[in-house]
């Protein structure tokens, strides 16, 4: 009896292996092309002249993304993401956004291993490509602390499920080349030295709240060298959550937010201007700043969504440099989310010592997907 069970088990494993191998070798990789376009206007272009009028709407190319995805074998899959940025289609160059391999099975403790260039599992929004956001604009805190490209770096990542019973929990740890942070805050490294390594980690828990709702909570940390000239270190701590309520296939409510706290010692700001004390002598400063966003997105009749987002953030190098904003957005996604139209109104107020400025912007975004990688998966 035991012998028959053992043979049956081996046969099942062999069938799974053959099926996966046949699937990975018999077809070409999944290839998707996702272009995005913008129609924008704002009332901030003539504030220097004392005028607040909306500019003539500008139609522009935002980005084209090419996604190439496939299993290499039953144990590993590969992803390559190429991007052509806008707004100048003719002058733009196709660049590598992500290229990584993930070992999804076969390692001890069911460990998942990823290596290459990829979006780091930090917070909740960083893993999502912009075309998958329900809104158009990037949250202000994400833009200031991570830059337009987000936390995207060369690295090695290990992920493991934790033995927490009915609660799904996962721990991810990354060793990163440390290239992203300087680019994010605008400090260009001209030392000629090799970049210093950075590390990141995220602990998440998934809690079912009922038949139709669930909650995901995550705690992330990220540290590295932000100033290669003085070898000053930064520390980011991040708390994120996502609540989702889906009573049926046509309706869903998502509430999501993140809070980031930044701690760093610095001899100079991002413009390489040294900090000085009251006597004009060089001064090392301990800086602590924060940022957050919170949004709600309501999907109805499956094809439509409406939502709002609130932003508040300080600068990585100064608590006196603050910005806050509010946005409302509407989305239309016919034909299984292969086509997306988003309309967004955003108000942003920036506060600097002795100065304050606010700008209103209206943006219409149009994007579509050729291939299995959807323009906006619900």
DSSP string spanning 199-268?
EEEEEEEEEE-SSSEEEEEEEEEEEEEEETTTTEEEEEEEEEEEEEEEEETTEEEEEEEEEEEEEEEESB
Residues constituting the chain: 378
Contact 159, 168 (CB under 8 A): no
pLDDT at 188: 65
Q: Is 21 helix (H, G, I), strand (E, B) or coil?
A: helix
Which residues contact residue 100 at a Cβ distance below 8 angstroms, ignoring those fewer than 6 apart? 78, 79, 114, 115, 116, 117, 118
Examine the pLDDT at 21 and tell me if it is beyond 60: no
For residues 12-30, give the mean pLDDT: 53
Examine the pLDDT at 17 and tell me if it is beyond 70: no
pLDDT at 189: 65
Cβ neighbour number for residue 377 with a 10 Å cutoff? 12
Q: What are phi and psi of 339, to 5 degrees?
A: -135, 135
**Cα 116 to Cα 58, 156, 179, 372, distances in angstroms:** 37, 7, 13, 23
H helix and E strand count, the chain = 4, 16
User: How does pLDDT run across 114-167, given as a tens digit for each residue?
Assistant: 999 999 999 999 999 999 999 999 999 999 999 888 999 999 999 999 998 888
Examine the pLDDT at 296 and tell me if it is beyond 70: yes
User: How does pLDDT run across 201-233, given as a tens digit for each residue?
Assistant: 999 999 999 899 999 999 999 999 888 778 888
* % of the chain exceeding 70 in pLDDT: 89
Report the C-alpha gap between 341 and 39 in whole angstroms: 11
In the CATH scheme, what is the homologous superfamily, with its name and number, of domain 23-368?
Porin (2.40.160.10)
For residues 287-301, give the mean pLDDT: 96
pLDDT at 184: 61
| Most distant CA pair in the chain, distance | 88
Q: pLDDT band for position 26 (50/70/90)? A: very low
Examine the pLDDT at 8 and tell me if it is beyond 60: no
Contact 244, 204 (CB under 8 A): no
Q: What are the tokens at 32?
A: 């998707």
Q: Round the average pLDDT of the chain to a whole number and report it.
A: 87
- DSSP helix, strand, coil percent of the chain (3-state; round to 5): 15, 55, 30
Q: Is 62 helix (H, G, I), strand (E, B) or coil?
A: strand
Q: Is 105 helix (H, G, I), strand (E, B) or coil?
A: coil
Which of 300, 299, 306 lies closest to 328, judged by CA? 306
Which of 292, 340, 334, 327 lies closest to 313, judged by CA? 292
Contact 206, 169 (CB under 8 A): yes
User: How does pLDDT run across 321-370, given as a tens digit for each residue?
Assistant: 999 999 999 999 987 678 999 999 999 999 988 788 999 999 999 999 98
Report the C-alpha gap between 147 and 119 in whole angstroms: 13
Report the C-alpha gap between 173 and 201 in whole angstroms: 4
Q: Is 185 helix (H, G, I), strand (E, B) or coil?
A: helix
Q: What are phi and psi of 56, to 5 degrees?
A: -65, 130
Q: pLDDT band for position 15 (50/70/90)? A: very low
Q: What are the tokens at 244?
A: 């989702």
Q: Is 377 helix (H, G, I), strand (E, B) or coil?
A: coil
Q: Is 87 helix (H, G, I), strand (E, B) or coil?
A: coil
């Amino acid at each position: 009896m035991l012998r028959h069970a053992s043979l049956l088990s081996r046969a099942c494993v062999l069938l799974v292996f053959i099926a996966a191998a046949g699937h990975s070798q018999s077809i070409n990789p999944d290839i998707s092309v996702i272009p995005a376009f913008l129609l924008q206007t704002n009332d901030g272009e003539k504030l220097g002249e004392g005028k607040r009028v909306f500019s003539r709407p500008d139609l522009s190319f935002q980005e084209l993304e090419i996604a190439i995805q496939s299993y290499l074998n039953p144990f590993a899959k590969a992803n390559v993401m190429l991007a052509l940025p806008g707004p100048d289609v003719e002058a733009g160059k196709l660049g590598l956004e992500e290229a990584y391999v993930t070992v999804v099975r076969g390692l001890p403790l069911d460990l998942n291993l990823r290596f290459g260039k990829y979006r780091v599992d930090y917070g909740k929004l960083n893993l999502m490509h912009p075309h998958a956001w329900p809104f158009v604009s990037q949250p202000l805190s994400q833009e200031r602390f991570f830059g337009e490209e987000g936390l995207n770096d060369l690295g090695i990542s290990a992920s493991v499920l934790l033995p927490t019973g009915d609660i799904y929990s996962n721990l991810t740890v990354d060793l990163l080349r440390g290239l992203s942070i300087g680019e994010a805050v605008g400090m260009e490294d001209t030392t000629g030295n090799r970049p210093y390594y950075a590390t990141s980690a995220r602990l998440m828990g998934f809690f079912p709240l009922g038949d139709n709702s669930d909650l995901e909570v995550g705690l992330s940390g990220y540290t590295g060298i932000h100033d290669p000239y003085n070898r000053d270190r930064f520390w980011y701590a991040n708390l994120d959550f996502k609540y989702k309520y889906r009573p049926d296939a046509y309706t869903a409510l998502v509430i999501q937010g993140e809070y980031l706290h930044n701690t760093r010692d610095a001899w100079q700001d991002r413009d390489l201007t040294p900090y000085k004390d009251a006597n004009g002598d060089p001064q090392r400063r301990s800086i602590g700043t924060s940022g957050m966003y919170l949004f709600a997105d309501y999907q109805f009749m499956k094809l439509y969504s409406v939502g709002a987002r609130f932003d508040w953030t300080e600068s990585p190098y100064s608590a006196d440099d603050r910005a806050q904003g509010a946005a409302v957005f509407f989305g239309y996604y016919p034909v299984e989310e292969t086509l997306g139209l988003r309309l967004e109104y955003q108000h942003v107020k920036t506060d600097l010592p002795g100065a304050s400025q606010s700008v209103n912007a209206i943006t219409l975004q149009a994007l579509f997907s050729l291939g299995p990688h959807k323009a906006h998966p619900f």
